[in-house]
Every structure is written in C-alpha cells, then in structure tokens.
Amino acid sequence: MFAAYVTVTILASIFAAIAATTYLIGHDYPKAQMDMKRLPYSWMPRLGTVLAAGSLGLLAGFAVPLLGTLAATGLVLYFIGALIAHLRVGSRKLVGWAVFFVTSVATLALGLAYHGIW
C-alpha cells in the first residue's frame, strides 16, 4: 500500500508541476486551451499557481498527511472545473483531462486509504 501511495503521489505531483510550469511560462499549449475554452489569458498565472500549490501540497503531504489530503482534494476539484470548462464549449477531447483527473483521484484515494480520513 505504501509503495502505491508514494508512487502515485509523486506521479501526480510531477504531472501538476509540469502543467503549472506550462501555464506560468505562457507556453503555446495552455494558450490554445484557453482560447478553445474561451477563457482570458489573465487566468493563466492563477491556474498555474493553483497547480503549483497542488503539486507542492502533495509532496508536503508526506510530512503532514492533512496537507496532502487537502492538496489532492483541491486538484480533484480543479480538474472537475476543467471538465466543466471543456463541456461548456462542447469539447470532447478529454483524454488529457482524464489522465490528470484519474491520477488526482487515485492520489486522494490512496492517501485516505493509507493515512485514514484524518
């Protein structure tokens, strides 16, 4: 159980960190996503900051489990919001979203299973 928890948490943290970096540096892919979802570019730094906080929170969860649980919950909610943004504009390209969402849900589930609810 511990190995699965650590592996999935580190993987989710890496995914969130890479996504945060692309948003914070203004890479073309997040810009295309913002255009497709009809969201303003001014949201990019905010979204990148949320992803970066989630990534760091997952890692901090190894020392303080409640932080990891809160970070994983925040990432799950973030990606639910991303799904809503996709569906709002009629986008059905959800493979990338699904990878991030499933990884975040798995991190939350494994963290709760390993540490308990509180």
- Rounded to 10 degrees, the C-alpha dihedral 35/39/45/46 comes to -150
pTM for the model stands at 0.93
In percent, the amount of the chain with pLDDT more than 70 equals 99
How is the chain split into domains, by residue range? 2-115
pLDDT, tens digit, for every residue of 60-107?
999 999 999 999 999 999 999 999 999 999 988 899 999 999 999 999
